[in-house]
Amino acid sequence: MAEYKISINQLATFSKVSEARKKAIVKQQKNPPPILVGRYAMAKARISKAISNGSDIIPILKGIEELKKRNPETPWKKNDKSVSIDAMERYIKMSLPAILKEIRYEILPKQKIRSFFMSDVEILVSPDLIIKVFIDGKWYLGGLKLHVSKSELFDENQSKYVATCIYQYLDLVFEDDEIIVLPELCFSLDVFANSIISAPKKIERALEEIESMCLEIKKIWPNV
């Protein structure tokens, strides 16, 4: 078990917040609740399915219809329903990159390995989608991570870090395969920010910045 760890979206949040908030994030990662219920599961699943089906919005429309019929009783479930419907409706209006609209791609199964290490910190990536495309006689690989939050929208830099982590994760997990991980095919999709950002072509600087954050996490870890 990793001594230091952080999830990919929490790493993106960590990159921008105050010192006090950074400590709170590390504390939560160090001592996670025993049962952490995933939020907005319907929205994430239906958006992933839509992209998997070549941007077919039928799964989204059916998801919205299904949620509207539900009558949640608790405030948590009511919020989950409201935000999930809003997220799916916003996704329908989003414009996806040409590479996801014009090129046929395959969706690979999720891998057993869901993380990678940087400076002893385990970064949990778990891409929502792993994408494989055939371009000019070569196979290329990419991935996508969804971010659904009305209160914490990712800016361009935060999304860049998420997309870069996806690139690094895929490059390590598939290092033995004859396949090239393409930065332009590694995406962070933030529904409420109306953004889909790919990893930078010159990825070294972003990786250095992520490594610097990992060193900071290690420094905070023993003191929270």
pLDDT digits (tens, 9 = 90+) for 12-64: 999 999 999 999 999 999 988 776 667 899 999 999 999 988 888 999 999 99
Q: Give me the number of domains the chain comprises.
A: 2
pLDDT digits (tens, 9 = 90+) for 107-139: 999 899 999 999 999 999 999 999 999 888 889
Domain hosting 84: range is 41-93
> Has residue 5 got a pLDDT over 90?
yes
CB 164 within 8 A of CB 210: yes
List the structure tokens of 167: 């690139």
In a domain? residue 167: yes
Residue at 194 is within a domain: yes
- Using CA atoms, how far residue 198 sits from 46, 85, 148, 167, in Å, is 21, 25, 17, 9
Same domain, 26 and 113: yes
25 within domain boundaries = yes
- The answer to whether residues 124 and 181 belong to one domain is yes
Same domain, 52 and 148: no
Q: Are residues 217 and 114 in the same domain?
A: yes
Looking at the structure, do residues 164 and 57 belong to the same domain, yes or no?
no
Span 135-147, pLDDT tens digits: 888 899 999 999 9
Q: Which of 134, 121, 195 is nearest to 165 (CA)?
A: 121
pTM score, whole prediction: 0.93
Whether residue 159 sits in one domain with residue 101: yes
Q: Is 36 part of a structural domain of the chain?
A: no
Structural domain includes residue 179: yes
> Both 114 and 83 in a single domain?
no
